Structure 1
């Protein structure tokens, strides 16, 4: 994939030089506590994922670079499942609350539908993180409700909720109505 630029960000394949920036994000338990990376807790386990996933899955994984600082402030990725792209994203805490995920999301929806030819893009979030649900709504996605319930080993129940956007809805401009 080539780089995609938005007003404030550059979305691009990750490079070896991004290791430390992305490691700081993924090893922050507050950032990843509701993502598939919540069990990545050591520099060694991060480096393995970085080398085997983030650097090799360049069609599906992207760094989010701040144009001003030129540092990676987060990541965005698709996990393909048949004709659906299931997305995961995270931003470092200093990037929270600036509207970056919706900004990146709109650009990545276009990429997912036009370049990867997904017919559907889906995203999941934990009920304990309602801000993610609001961002998904801002990206024009439709609320699917609860899809899973799981219990943390330390206790506590998490309800996983989902949103989706179909290619047809995207082509018909329904995502624009949500913005």
Structure 2
């Protein structure tokens, strides 16, 4: 059962809890033993499908990790290429922020993106995140070093 804050995100999309299929092939290869349901119930990691409310068409997914020691977590998302630029990542990110701050009572949420994907950075900016730093040539993707740009947002007391 979805928490109330995620059960009806908007009139355009909804987010399904416990995403199992389909997910990107590279994710399956990297995390073959990952149990989404187990992580959800243990409040370590939350994974949701981003779908069309009317048709159920899968647009992508969004996830939120939870580090209980620091009351923060990392948000990550992917959107199918056919659905880029339509606001689905922004809409789902706003919903996951609400979930993090108002349902799970996080103090902070952060996200990161490849420097080669500025559109993902614009999503983080649109939801109020502020750039916190850049890790130069931090990871290797498809044989090339990539810098990671980090963003974060802290829950304000009046929220």
**Is the Cα–Cα contact under 8 Å of residues 4 and 107 in structure 1 kept in the other structure?**
no
Partners of 1:92 and 1:108 lie apart in 2 by 18
TM-score by length of 1: 0.72
Partner of 2:94: 106
Relative to the length of structure 2, the TM-score reads 0.81
Match of 2:38 among 56, 60, 84: 56
User: Aligned in 2, Cα 1:14/1:73: closer, same or farther, shift over 3 Å?
Assistant: farther
- Range moving further from structure 2, 107-116 or 144-153: 144-153
- Of 106, 127, 134, the residue aligned with 1:139 is 127
Change in 2 beyond 3 A, CA 1:53/1:149: farther
Q: Does residue 164 of structure 1 match 2:146?
A: no
Question: Which deviates further from its counterpart, 59-68 or 90-99?
Answer: 59-68
| Residue 7 (structure 1) aligns with | 11
The match for 1:177 is none
Report how many residues are paired: 149
Task: Return 5+ residue gaps in structure 2 as ranges.
Answer: none
Let me know the Cα RMSD of the aligned residues: 2.4
SS of the residue 1:160 aligns to: strand
Q: 1:154: Cα distance to partner?
A: 5.3
| Deviations 1:116-135, CA, capped at 9 Å, x for gaps | 11100000101011111011
Equivalent residues in 2 for 1:61-72, closer than 5 Å: 61-72=47-58
* Cα distance in 1 between the residues matched to 2:116 and 2:17: 30
> Which residue does the alignment assign to 1:80?
66
Secondary structure of the residue that 2:106 maps to in structure 1?
coil
Task: Give the secondary structure class of the aligned counterpart of 2:128.
Answer: coil
Q: In the aligned structure 1, how far is the partner of 2:15 from the partner of 2:94?
A: 12
Compare the two structures and name the one with the higher strand fraction.
2
In 2: Cα distance, 1:170 partner to 1:12 partner:
29
CA contact (8 A) 1:6 1:104 kept: no
Normalized per residue, the structure richer in helix is 1
